[in-house]
A and B are shown apart, each in its own frame.
Chain A
Amino acid sequence: MPLPSRRTTRRLAADAGLLAVAAAFVLPLAWVVLSALDPRAGLRVKAPDGLTLDHFDAILTDEITFTPLLNSLVLCGGATALTVVCAALAAYPLSRFRSRFNRPFLLTILFATSLPITAIMVPVYALFVRVDLIDTVRGTVLFFAASQLPFAVWLMKNFMDGVPKELEEAAWTDGASSPQSLVRIVLPLMGPGVAVVTVFSFVMMWGNFFVPFMLLLSPDRMPASVSINDFFGNRGMVAYGQLAAFSIVYSTPVILLYVLIARRLGGGFALGGAVKG
């Protein structure tokens, strides 16, 4: 047997290193999958004592799963729609017309994208109590949209900059107005960009715990990110199998959505240059 070349040795070492990390990372994920199918699920990773779908059966009820997921959908769907429309409108003049306000505005937006929103949840709560928006879906949707907006505007503007101006100029010559050219020419041409902004906003809000946890009070309005807590506190004994099954049902949509846009996000990790270096 010929000795492996240095290149091969190095590749094997790299493979071994990566596999070690992957093994460490996969354990918690393996727990959730195995426990969801294990009739006697506990807290540790183990081969299931037989396979069962009972846990899924037990949680697929209106009260435990469907209502919270529907609430999540309404909250995140509404907020995403608002975010994307506002961001597209805002990005258009920022990308197309120059003025001395553009740069300061964009720098402010960039600054706002990285502010720790967690910090303002207490004053937001106090403010919402005062203006009677607490425990309302519309209040939560508006705040969600505002919190996601800086990043969405920034991302959208960068995608829009990639659409050549000449095509739009031709439309203008034919008598189209700016709003018409935005809707008929610019947005269709940057379809993948709009999709990235939409999916990204949705995924961020779907997983967000603190905002609905603070701003919503009625149990029947809670999205899945908060209602998952009930498996622990209020129901006494923790049914780990059901908790695992619910985690899977709740996480699957965002994982699928992420896979859909992963190529566009992945390649050069093109999050709009937000992390360019």
Chain B
Amino acid sequence: MTAAAPHTGPGPAKSPPGPSAPARRAPRRLLPRFLPLTPALVLLLLFLAGPIAYCVLIAFTDLQLTGQAEESFVGLENFRRAFGDEEFLNAVWLTLVFTVVSSLIGQNTLGLALAVLMRRASKPVRTLTGGIVVTAWVLPEVVAGFLLYAFFRREGTLNAILDWLRLPSQNWLFTLPILAVSFANVWRGTAFSMLVYSAALSEIPEEITEAAEVDGAGGWRRMWHITLPMIRRSIGTNLMLNTLQTLSVFGLIWVMTRGGPGGKSRTLPLFMYEQAFQNSLIGYGTAVALLLLLVGSLFSLVYVRLLRTEV
């Protein structure tokens, strides 16, 4: 079984090269060919599928970090507890606000606006803006967190600007922490949408927009009736990926507010972490993780469906 003849058919059973290759040889030939998949499969099964399965398992137990010899199966208790727990519901609400404000509205709209403007702007301005926005995206998560922490602090840059404009300043991280971390996420994540939409817009043929312009369609109408419908698949995949990305933001919020003050910016990932490690309730924390994973999987499934023709 070396140097097999090039094989392009859709399946081994479908293209027997000759009488010397009986059909039952097909599986034997398939196995060595797919042998290189093994290392990746082993890693994925042990370190990704394994933890997910373990997650499902311990979400139904009362596993704790300390002071307990054996955990026991508690059925749906963790989930019942979650939905009766005001702090959990608060975390769900904050996650929703964070996702809608920073990803669905912020990153998505600003990214699209930047991509549209870039097509008309002069080259130096385009390069400069693109460079700055992308740098914010490439920076490590924790560094981005520190930069925005400094920006929003009482004695930080934002208040300096507001003072200069004679507008009321305030302690943003204390009064409106969820908005501060949402803006931080917009700052950090807009580049992705900008790149996606720039690519999508560059694929719209010039003639179509020009024809509409000749017919007298104004800017907003062209946008609404021509551009947006033509890039709707990019919009779909971009929204999906932004949402998934935003659902799992931890470091940025952790650095800026630690979820505080008083839980006012404690989204689900931070709630999960606090329950599991500060309150030592691994079982409960995992139940929350499972819910987060389920929501993520749902979005991920939609995303796969959107793309499935590409595979």
Q: Taking beta carbons and an 8 Å cutoff, which residues of A are in contact with B?
A: 10-11, 13-15, 17-19, 21-22, 25-29, 31-32, 35, 42-46, 82, 85-87, 89-90, 92-94, 97-101, 103, 106-107, 110-112, 114-127, 142-143, 145-147, 149-150, 153, 165, 168-169, 172, 175-179, 182, 203, 206-210, 213, 224-226, 228-229, 240, 243, 247, 250-251, 254-255, 258, 262, 265-266, 268-269, 273-277
Contact = CB atoms under 8 A, between A and B. Distances in A.
B121 A269 contact: no
A86 B43 CA distance: 9
Residue of A25, A85, A208 ringed by the most chain B CB atoms within 10 A:
A25
A243 to B, nearest CB: 6
B286 A123 contact: yes
B146 A44 contact: no
B75 interface: no
Nearest to B238: A275
A273 B250 contact: no
Contacts of B110: 21
Contact of A229 (B142, B236, B285): B142
Nearest to B153: A43
Interface in B13-50: 30, 33-37, 39-41, 43-44, 46-48, 50
Contacts of A17: 113, 117, 121
B73 interface: no
Contacts of A110: 303-304, 307, 311
A277 B231 CA distance: 7
Instruction: Tell me what chain B mostly uses at the interface: helix, strand, loop, or mixed.
Output: helix
Contact of A31 (B44, B151, B292): B151
A243 B269 CA distance: 26
A13 to B, nearest CB: 8
Given A10-B120, A86-B40, 14 more contacts: A28-B147, A28-B157, A43-B150, A45-B157, A46-B160, A98-B7, A99-B11, A107-B311, A111-B297, A123-B54, A123-B55, A178-B33, A209-B141, A228-B146
Nearest to B301: A111
A89 B37 contact: yes
B248 A142 contact: no
